[in-house]
Structure 1
Amino acid sequence: MERPLRQDAANRRAQLLVAAREVFRDEGIDAPLDRIAIRAGVGRATLYRNFPGRTEIALAVLIDEIEQLVDTFADCSGPDAFFDFLTQLQALLIRNSALGDVVRAAPSPELLAPLRAAMVRAATLPLHCSQSAGTVRNDLTATDVRILLSMLVAGLHNATPEERNLLADRARQLTFDAVRPRP
């Protein structure tokens, strides 16, 4: 069982995540990892103690962003909560497509378990809200978000920006249709 981080260690990890998000946004996913440590104001050893490589830090950035969706939908109300969640999840993954590419190339499925768990946590409440309102089929589970996510972003790889927007809209329409209850 992992022990919780000391407060100072947790603060350094949070600084590293902010810095990683900024460096990846400004310089791309292939930016030297040392730049993350410099931007966070920590040493290389601290970076590598927290994140042994590019995959782990990309994964941590994605998990952090998905955890923010948990907060966004904490007070979900309305019949379209799950549709709004899927729209925001798709936008997050489009915005972070390079991070997603690194994560998809992860050397082991176990490395992705925390990401999958974060997606289930984020999907659970908006799914229940929409199911309670009758706008989403009752047989859908929060673990199905992994399949839905694949549907939302599968055709976007190597698309031009114009194509990406059209494909994303169409993928969202088809996915939304798939989760609605059948008469």
Structure 2
Amino acid sequence: MTTVDETRPGRPLRADARRNRERVLAAARETFAEVGPDASLNAIARRAGVGPGTLYRHFPTRQALLGAVLADRVERLCARADQLIASDSPGGALSGWLRAFLDHAGSDHGLGGAALAEPADLGPDCHAMIREAAGRVLARAQRAGAARPDVTAADMMQLVVGVALATGGPAGDPAQPGRLLALVEDALRP
């Protein structure tokens, strides 16, 4: 994916600017995961090894940075679906993707809500991208007889989001999300 220089429309970023943007994005991803969406942007810039001006040149607002981190997480999740489809059995791919989706949903730390509170332009519809990835994995498992034919991708996603929400508290049993996901997997089998 070529990143465009927003100060000069239509022109790709120079290599050093692209590297700085990626460093800021990686630092933001890590910092938001640790602290949440209200993390200090100056701390993110320090972690990335760039000045605040560089951060703001690439992401002029907190919403722009939150949106970019969320879009990056969704792209990674969808790419994981394709990796699993290409390298695992249909049932194994479904199980692996459900675990990846649970990790995604459970590690949000309010990022999705913060990004959507004042919507930033995330580009493609992130929910649709996840639903399509879930649909690809599920359809392959259904064709192979590894998943019930009456389940939809939306059903499956709702169940996993429910597990993430129900077990997201800090005082909870750390093994509970895995146990509940195993019950969801059992329910998805024919």
Match 2:140 to one of 129, 133, 143: 129
Q: What is the letter of the counterpart of residue 150 of structure 1? A: V
Shift of 1:109: 6.9
Closer, same or farther: CA 35–110 of 1 in aligned 2, 3 Å: closer
Verify the 8 A CA contact 2:27 2:48 in the aligned structure 1: yes
Q: Secondary structure at the match of 1:160?
A: coil
Q: Percent identity?
A: 32
Give the equivalent residue in structure 2 for 1:171: 180
Give the equivalent residue in structure 1 for 2:21: 13
Q: What is the letter of the counterpart of residue 93 of structure 1? A: A
2:171 counterpart of 1:157: no
2:137 counterpart of 1:107: no
Closer, same or farther: CA 62–178 of 1 in aligned 2, 3 Å: farther
Closer, same or farther: CA 154–23 of 1 in aligned 2, 3 Å: closer
Normalising to structure 1: TM-score of the pair? 0.72
Deviations 1:31-83 (CA, angstroms, capped at 9, x unpaired): 31112223334443443354454454344334323322333332143132112
2:124 counterpart of 1:116: no
Structure 1: 5+ residue stretches without partners: none
Normalising to structure 2: TM-score of the pair? 0.70
Match 1:89 to one of 97, 101, 105: 101
Partner Cα separation in structure 1 for residue 57 and residue 160 of structure 2: 31
Verify the 8 A CA contact 2:63 2:120 in the aligned structure 1: no
Structure 2: 5+ residue stretches without partners: 5-11
Partner Cα separation in structure 2 for residue 139 and residue 12 of structure 1: 47
Deviates more, 1:32-41 or 1:6-15: 6-15
Higher share of residues assigned helix: 1
